[in-house]
Every structure is written in C-alpha cells, then in structure tokens.
Structure 1
Amino acid sequence: MSQTVNLRQHAEEAWNAEGDASIAHIAPASDRVLEVADGVGLLPGFGNVITFRDDDELVLFDTGNPVTAEISHAAIRAWSDLPLTAAFYSHGHFDHVMGLAPFDAEPGPRTQVIAQERVRDRFERYALTAGYNAVINQRQFQIPDLQWATEYRQPDVTFRDAMTVTRAGFTFDLFHAEGETDDAAVAYVREHRLLLPGDMFIWLAPNCGNPQKVQRFPREWAIALRRMASLGAEIMAPSHGVPIFGADRIEQVLLETAEWLESIVEQTLEMMNAGARLDDIVATVRPPAHLASRSYLAPKYDEPEFIVRNLWRRYGGWYDGNPARLKPATDAELARSVAAMAGGARVVADEALRLLKDGDLRLAAQLAEMATQADPDDADLHVARAEVYAARAEAEESLMAKGVYAWAASESRARAPQESPDAG
C-alpha cells in the first residue's frame, strides 16, 4: 500500500473522529515523509514539516522543533537529497522554526527563509523573556527541564500583507493573518489547490485564549478563516495533525470554526458594551450548541472561557469591572484575613476538601489556594492543596488547564510531609 493511501486512510479516520489527530496529541517524531500529492510530502510530528520537490530543489513549509531536528533532517533527506533552497515559517512558534540547523550545517548555499515581518519582533521578545517562556512552557507541557532559546534562525525575506513565491515548480501565494499569533503566514499552492494554514487550524477549538501567552486574535482569526474558505482548496495540510482532502470538508471546517469564534466574539462584545463585569461574561458566554459535536472544535487544548478572557484583554484592558480588584490587598493578606475569620487556615483547607468531595472543584481550588497563602509553611495544608489540584487536573479537558493544575499539585507535593522510609 502506498504512503499516499496510508495518509488518506489516517485522514479519513481523523475526519470520523476515530483517532486523535489534534495538537493535544503530542505526536512522536516520524522517520518518514508521507506523500500528500505529486512532489508534496508531510513529515508528521509536534509541528509538521510540509515538503516540496522538483528535479532541482527542495522547499519546506515550517521546519519543525529543536528536539527532533536531527530525526526530521534524516527523514527529509531520505525523501530528497536535493539542495534545500527555501523554507517558509507559518509563524514564529518554536515548534515551527527550529529545525533548520542540520540543513544549515550542510555544504552549499544557505537556505533562504521567508516569513511574515512580525516574526522578527517575536524572536526579539523571546530573547527578552526567555526565562518566563521556559517556565510557562514547562508548566503547560509538563516538561520540567525545558529550556528556552535566545537565538533564532532569522528570516532572510519578509512580507507585510501578501507575497507570491515560485520555488521547486510550485507557486506559493502567501498572505498575512492574525489568529493564534500576530505573525501568521498562510500559503495557497496553486498547482495542487493546496492550503497550508499553519496553526490557523489544529483539529481542535482554536488556541485563542491561552492563559499564559500573549494576545490572541479571535475576531481576526474568523476573518482569515473565511478568506481561506473562499480559495476552494482541494487539500489542506495543517502544521499539526493530518491533512484534509476534499473541498467540501475543507470549506466546512473553516466556516464552522469561523462561526464558532464569531459567536464567542459577538456574545462577549455585546456584554462588554452593556457594561457587564468580566466575571459575569465568563459565566455566561457559550459557543454555539449546534457545533458541540464537532471533534475539530473540541476544547481539548484551549477552551471558550479562556477566549472570553483574551477578548476582554484585547478590547477592555486589565481591570475586570470589580472595584475591589482595582487596587486590592495582596492575595496573602486577603487569605490571612479570611482564615482568621474562619478559625484558622486548616479550617479553610478542610472546607476545600469538603467542597472537593461534593464536586465543587472551582471553589475547592480557591479555598485550598487561600489556605496555603494564609500559612505557606504549614506542610499539612499543602497535602490538601495537592489533592484538590490533582483532582482538578484529572477533571479538566483542555491541555492548558490540566498543565496549570498538575503543576500546582506538584508544587504542593514537594512541600507536603514526606513519609518516613520505614513507614508501613
């Protein structure tokens, strides 16, 4: 059976929700490029690499991540030994721009990198906030020793709004989009009616509210999706997950994802314009019920309430409408006051555990957090905090929430009383 048939079968399974093709599934590095179409391949991984070749040159759309760069290089070189003349960045996230080092080490002319112009600004920001990005990505992906780079393979050629490039016998029509990032480059390859959306489609609800990352762009994302849907692509190869084959399916996922985002945007802005507080908006806004069954809109990576908060940040600033939080006491001061009224931090922790047993995980987490803030050196309180956050991590669907809560549970386990080696 050919690689093309295997990939199409995998794509069919993903369409029928028979397997996890989404960004939430951390795909292992592949050692084989799969054929998408004549002269076009896809190297699966956490950050796919889309490959193009003719008789003279090799071109990449996205380059992969630094951890698997050597494996990816070997797989691509098994697919083609032609000179790598050009590489496109779909955007500046590390899992898309960190795979060129083995190619740059080869003899011959250096690969030309093409990207939207804001990628350079992103790399500058990454260098300024390397420590912060290391911490938040350790927490999000549960990788304690993850390091954050301060040097990046800069683009050689950039564009602002649109650009057409012809390489390896293919015509790449590029246009700028804002969505998960402000520096996205979407490509349409005319010869195969092939759409390359980067992370504008990830087989899940859009990563548009990530609580630990910089501004996302829900409204602009929907606009870009509708523009992509108008192209009439026959194949769509995202930078995470398997391709989608068929114009009808591509149009469906793009337009329904746009509708899903637009609904959240419209509801949020309507309540903001009416003077509602952020708390009330988060508690009220819901995505369209008729799209709830779509596997490619499942909130397994990001989730709607985070998108609402991101919209508030985009359009409303950091003040959430509660005057007590404009210039509040510190969290620790508030926690000590509440604990004193309750009869001590352990009483607060006991109430957190009672709420946990009753299934009120949100309030349980707030009280468990308050208890340890009131008396951070009481190791027994950390036992309760670890139990509550472990339960929250287990109950959550999105990778974002799971990562934060699992990390919090680990923090408290490290401070909880340790069993004696002779115990038991």
Structure 2
Amino acid sequence: MPNNRLIDHNETQFKKHVVTLAPGVWTAVGFAASTQHMIEGETSVTIIDTSESTGAATNVLAAFRELTDKPIEQIIYTHSHRDHISGATVFSEGRDVPILASAGFSSDLVGQDETRIAPNKALGRRTMAQFGIGLSPSERISLGCGPGDRPMEGMGAGHIPPNQLISNDQEIDLDGVTARLIHAPGETADHMAVWLPDAKILFPGDNWYHAFPNLYAIRGTPYRDFAKWAETLGNLADLGAEVLAPGHTQPVFGAEKVREVLMTTRAAILHVMQHTADGMDAGHSMDDIAASLTLPDDLADKPWLGEFYGKASWSARAFATGTLGWYDGNPTHLGTLSSAKRAQHMADLAGGVEALFEQAKQAEDLQWRLELCDHLIALGAPAQGLKADTMVTLAETEINATARNTYLWEAKKLREGETS
C-alpha cells in the first residue's frame, strides 16, 4: 500500500480544475505536471508557462477558452524547465507572439548541443526514472510536483524559444494590467517571478510549491544555489502578496499564509545549509550528516514541507558537493577500490559469496540489503531479483514521489534484464 501522505498529496494538490485568483486571473492545476496561468487584459490575454506537452496544453487551452475568447497576445516563461515551456505552440495558436523570459534562459533538457562532452544518456535515463516514465498510473501515483496520470502526447514538442529576453527587473503592461517581472534565482538561475501589484498576486515559478523544495533533483542537475534561493524567498515574501500561484500545486490565499509558506521554506533551506556546514566543520562523514538531518519542530509540522518532491538528506549532499566538491575531508576517500574489488573483500569477510547472499536475504534493514545486493551483482551473483523486490518494498512506504518512482522504475528494468 503506497504511503498515505503521498496519496493525499496527489489527491489534494493536483486536483484538476481552474482556480480563479481574482477577477480576470486564473490558474490551471492538475492538467499537467506544472500549472499554467492566464491574465485577462482589455482585449487580449497573457499566458504564464505552457506545460510539458502539447496534449496537456490543448486541454488547458480548452478550459481557458470556457472563460474568455480573447486572443493570446503574450506568453511568459517563469524559467526554462521543460515542464513549463513545451506547450507554447498550442497557446500561440499558430501566430507569432511575444514570448518573454529571463535573459539567462537556459534549459538543461531543451536545445542542448549534443556534441558537447556530457552524460546525456545518464541524464535521460535518470529523468525517466525520477518521473516514472513507463510506469502505470497506479504505480506512478504522483510526480511529487504534479499528477502521475496526465497527458503524455507531444511531450516536449511544443517549445518555442523566447524572443524577448528580460535583462533587468521591469514593469510591463499586459494590455491594461500592470505586471512586474522580477529576476528570482532559485530552483534555476534563470527564474523570473511575475508580480501583479494591483491584485497582489505573485507567480513565483518553481521557487515555491507545496513540498520540501527540490534543492537537488535525483535526475541530475548542476548545483542549485541554496543561498540565492533562500534570499529570493525572502525578497518575494516582502512583496506582501495576498495570492501565491506556484508553478506546481494549488495556489495559496491570504497575505499571512503566503508570507508563512515562503518564510518557512526559506528557513528550511537555511537549516539544511547550517546543519551541513556544521557537520563538515566538525569533520563528520557525509553519510552521518545526511542521516542526522531533520527539520526543527517548528518546521517539521508544516504540511508544505513534507518531502513529497525534494528531500532534506539529498539536499545536504548537494550542498556539500556544491560548496566544497566531492572530497569530504577523510583521506581514506582520496583512494578508491573498484566495485568488484570492494565486493570481493565484503564476500571474504562474510565467508564467501554464498554466505554474503544469505546475509542479504536475511537482512531486515532494507537499505543494507540493497547495498549487499550491489556487492553480489558486482561479483556476478544473481541478486537482481532480490534487489528489485527490495526496491519495490521500499517504494511502498516512501513519501517522496521521485524516490518511489525511481525504485519502481529501476526494479522494472532489473527484471527486464537491464543493469544500467
């Protein structure tokens, strides 16, 4: 039985509907992994973010068209993640329209030079695992950031590169609606928040959503600057928004609540940074730092800091690597053993491969069982089935959607005979 909190998160945060934020301002939730927003002007509308697929964008546009038939004259990207920029061809409706984005707009999944030296195959595989591509809707109950069951037609197919790049914070006119575009580095360096000062509505992109922030995505990402993200959340909180319409999950209403969710998320990021820095300064191992990291009581009880998408222990590892690199200060780790050699030493200690296999079968600690399975597989022992079964067991209690998806996806691949 999947984790009940994850099921509830999926049912409440990704309920499919269009939410009225204020007269003439709407958010579409649950149609896609991300949310899409529409702002009605005097004779036209502006769209903020366009979803990850043309299939999802088509459904959102149909829902928006029930509200107004005014032409879409402008599109704004809050940032370059594929789930926000891949339905623009649907919303532009065959016309050339201004598409605004930060001058730093740069996606790690769209428009990359395939000739550069980079682990593109690894990124692709890990992205599929994180989002459970190929799992059934019942297996992939949630993306952590969106519903598990959503349109996949035209995935990534509807992107249009931005044609108006914004270098500085600036006020713009959305056909009679005043908006301010604010550079807001956080989940990505190219984030740009949209602020409607008259209606006091804030579109923060992915700098806030109803989950522990994805400070490190297990698909693999460049370092996300924790300090800048925390600073941005403080700056956004100071705007005094009365409505917060995030890039994922349901909007938040009420000035007090908006400030609370932004500032407590900022505090959670700062706590991860401080805990990790203190541990590194004390010479603790990265394993011990990650294993001992918990949120303070005044943060741990906040529903929007549940680890449905991001995870604190992963964040600690990312902060350590992003600030001081891979070396953890323990000179033992300046050298290395191959997986096979380390596995052979482990088998020798256990009394042979068969004895090691028996230890793995009997291990009650599931994480330890996985590690023993890796040693056995490195030695050529047939432990793939045991590892797959263990990952499925872990997935059933896991609150983090991306961890659950990865366990199930990798288990499926092991059973199909894939090892990497």
Correspondence 1:61 to 2:48: yes
Mark the structure with the bigger radius of gyration. Answer: 1
The 5 Å alignment of 1:13-412 reads: 20=8, 27=14, 30=16, 33-45=18-30, 46-66=33-53, 67-106=55-94, 108=95, 110-120=96-106, 122=108, 126=112, 128=114, 131-144=121-134, 149=156, 152-214=159-221, 215-356=223-364, 360-375=365-380, 378-379=381-382, 381-412=383-414
Q: Structure 1 residue 307: deviation in Å? A: 0.6
Q: Compared with structure 1, are the counterparts of its residues 298 and 149 closer, same or farther at alpha carbon in structure 2 (3 Å cutoff)?
A: same
Does the 8 Å contact 1:174/1:185 carry over to 2?
A: yes
* Mapped partners of 1:327, 1:34: distance in 2: 56
* Mapped partners of 1:280, 1:63: distance in 2: 41
Q: Deviations over 1:70-101 (max 9, x none)?
A: 21222223322222111111111111111111
SS at match of 1:173: strand
* Mapped partners of 1:160, 1:288: distance in 2: 38
Tell me which stretches of 4 or more aligned residues in structure 1 moved more than 6 Å: 145-148
* Mapped partners of 1:126, 1:27: distance in 2: 31
Tell me whether 216-225 or 400-409 shows the greater mean CA deviation: 400-409
Does the 8 Å contact 1:208/1:216 carry over to 2?
A: yes
Does the 8 Å contact 1:301/1:398 carry over to 2?
A: yes
Tell me whether 292-301 or 402-411 shows the greater mean CA deviation: 402-411
Q: Structure 1 residue 35: deviation in Å? A: 2.1
Does the 8 Å contact 2:169/2:183 carry over to 1?
A: yes
Amino acid at match of 2:83: D
* Count of residue pairs the alignment pairs up: 389
Q: TM-score, normalised by structure 2?
A: 0.84
What corresponds to 2:145 in structure 1?
Answer: none
* Mapped partners of 2:160, 2:270: distance in 1: 35
SS at match of 1:79: coil
Q: Structure 1 residue 329: deviation in Å? A: 2.0
SS at match of 1:120: coil
Amino acid at match of 1:35: T
Q: Compared with structure 1, are the counterparts of its residues 73 and 125 closer, same or farther at alpha carbon in structure 2 (3 Å cutoff)?
A: same
Q: Compared with structure 1, are the counterparts of its residues 141 and 259 closer, same or farther at alpha carbon in structure 2 (3 Å cutoff)?
A: same
Structure 2 unaligned residues grouped into runs of 5+: 136-151
Q: TM-score, normalised by structure 1?
A: 0.84
Q: Compared with structure 1, are the counterparts of its residues 105 and 270 closer, same or farther at alpha carbon in structure 2 (3 Å cutoff)?
A: same
* Mapped partners of 1:284, 1:90: distance in 2: 35
Does the 8 Å contact 2:186/2:207 carry over to 1?
A: yes
* Mapped partners of 1:135, 1:401: distance in 2: 14
Q: Compared with structure 1, are the counterparts of its residues 124 and 401 closer, same or farther at alpha carbon in structure 2 (3 Å cutoff)?
A: closer
Does the 8 Å contact 1:195/1:236 carry over to 2?
A: yes
Does the 8 Å contact 2:25/2:38 carry over to 1?
A: yes
Q: Structure 1 residue 21: deviation in Å? A: 5.5
What corresponds to 1:12 in structure 2?
Answer: none
What corresponds to 1:422 in structure 2?
Answer: none
Does the 8 Å contact 2:82/2:109 carry over to 1?
A: no
* Mapped partners of 2:237, 2:402: distance in 1: 28
Percent identity between matched residues is 26
